[in-house]
Amino acid sequence: MALDFDIFKPKAQPLFGMDISSSSIKMVELVDAGKGAIRVERYVIEPLPKEAVVDGSIANLEAVEETVGRGWKKLATRTKNVAMALPTAAVITKKIIVPAGLREEELELQVETEANQYIPFALEEVNLDFQVVGPAPSSPEEVEVLIAASRKERVEDRVAVVQAAGLKALVMDVESYAMQAAFDLIKKQFPNDAKDQNIALVDVGANVMNITVLRNEQPVYTREQAFGGNQLTQDIMRQYGMSHEEAEAAKRSGGLPETYDAEVLRPFIENAALEIQRAMQFFFTSTQFNSIEHILLFGGSAAIPGLEEAVSTRTQVNTLIANPFASMAVNPRIQLKKLIADAPSLMIACGLAMRRFDT
């Protein structure tokens, strides 16, 4: 079978990054601004209908296709090549050791043989890809190879929605890798480029909070907790008798009663900070580490006013809101204030857009 997942193939062609989350489609296009600089050329966040995407799976193909088409029109780019990502939970990754110096066909055969042993599906049901990481730590005669595999329908659904919009899926990545590519842009903001420090990357999404602790750019811990921005939407609906759509709109644009801060927002923020503190306790009890030096908040709910301060106060850890565009030039058509507000929710789309510069 062909190894056709395309996670690891370098792509130096024009493309834009597209993140399909449970609440919206996010598109980011970055371009070369010369002298090694990168410019944010354009971006779009297009809301998805409720439950069009559930747990990272596309539940309503038609609704997602329409949203992608609408978003691409608003993006107003000629670029039709797209880099996308699969949810981390939908991809099985494993490192294997193989003899050095194998020809491509021999390596493919070895990967398939190894994959057969740990993938709980028939090989014809999965997309498979691999990358030689480097020499094996134990022996110079061997190399370490990273294998990634996912069920075909997870890949095919994403490819289908971009094709329906007249676009071409050029790269299929994994959300955790895209997030790390975006973190590479941010680590300069930490002392000593975050070297030998434990950094907790906290993705506060609509339904779940994903926590990844990176140390020297390697994940040393991951955890998912059932808590997200939808909780705040539900609280607004309950408190003020609004529909889901009304509550979402009010959450974004304001116009809620004066009591909103004290009655609804503050308790939600305290709960979020408590969830992050709890995740840190799990990290300390299940690893050899007993400290986290920095917390980086991102995702659609990360920029809720007061969250950064509440997390910092409760955990006593330096807390930042992610902005992967901080060191980039910005197209003058983009409102800088809006980009900074949207930046935390564009982490994965930005990491995907960086695939344009892979060599």
DSSP 120-168: SS-GGGEEEEEEEEEE-SS-TTEEEEEEEEEEHHHHHHHHHHHHHTT-E
Lowest mean per-residue pLDDT among 80-84, 121-125, 175-179: 121-125
3-state SS, residue 290: coil
| Predicted pLDDT at 116 | 85
More reliable by pLDDT, 137 or 169: 169
Which residue bears the tokens 């809301």?
47
pLDDT at 12 over 70: no
Q: Read off the pLDDT of each residue in 105-109 and give the average, rounded to a whole number.
A: 91
Ordered structural domains, the chain, with CATH? 90-152 (3.30.1490.300)
pLDDT in tens, 299-313: 989 989 999 999 999
Query: How close are the terminal C-alpha atoms of the chain, in Å?
Result: 26
Confidence bin at 118 (pLDDT 50/70/90): confident
Distance (Å, whole) CA 249 – CA 233: 9
Look up residue 159 and give its two tokens.
Answer: 């490819």
| Predicted pLDDT at 131 | 86
pTM of the model: 0.90
pLDDT at 94 over 90: no
More reliable by pLDDT, 39 or 113: 39
| Predicted pLDDT at 296 | 97
| Predicted pLDDT at 248 | 87
| Predicted pLDDT at 200 | 97
| Predicted pLDDT at 36 | 86
pLDDT in tens, 255-294: 899 999 999 999 999 999 999 999 999 999 999 999 999 9
More reliable by pLDDT, 92 or 29: 29
Per DSSP, what are the bridge partners of residue 43? 28
| Predicted pLDDT at 1 | 29
pLDDT at 4 over 80: no
Q: Read off the pLDDT of each residue in 197-220 and give the average, rounded to a whole number.
A: 94
Q: Which residues of 130-166 are buried (b: 16+ CB within 10 A; e: fewer)?
A: beeeeebeeeeebbbbbbbbbbbebbebbeebbeebe
pLDDT at 10 over 80: no
| Predicted pLDDT at 236 | 95
pLDDT at 165 over 90: yes
Confidence bin at 2 (pLDDT 50/70/90): very low
Q: Read off the pLDDT of each residue in 178-200 and give the average, rounded to a whole number.
A: 94
Distance (Å, whole) CA 12 – CA 111: 26
The mean pLDDT of the chain is 92
Q: Read off the pLDDT of each residue in 306-329 and give the average, rounded to a whole number.
A: 97
| Predicted pLDDT at 344 | 97
E strand map for the chain:
16-20, 24-34, 37-47, 53-54, 57-58, 81-86, 91-99, 126-135, 142-151, 168-174, 198-204, 209-215, 218-225, 294-298, 318-321, 329-330
| Predicted pLDDT at 5 | 53
Confidence bin at 6 (pLDDT 50/70/90): low
pLDDT at 3 over 50: no
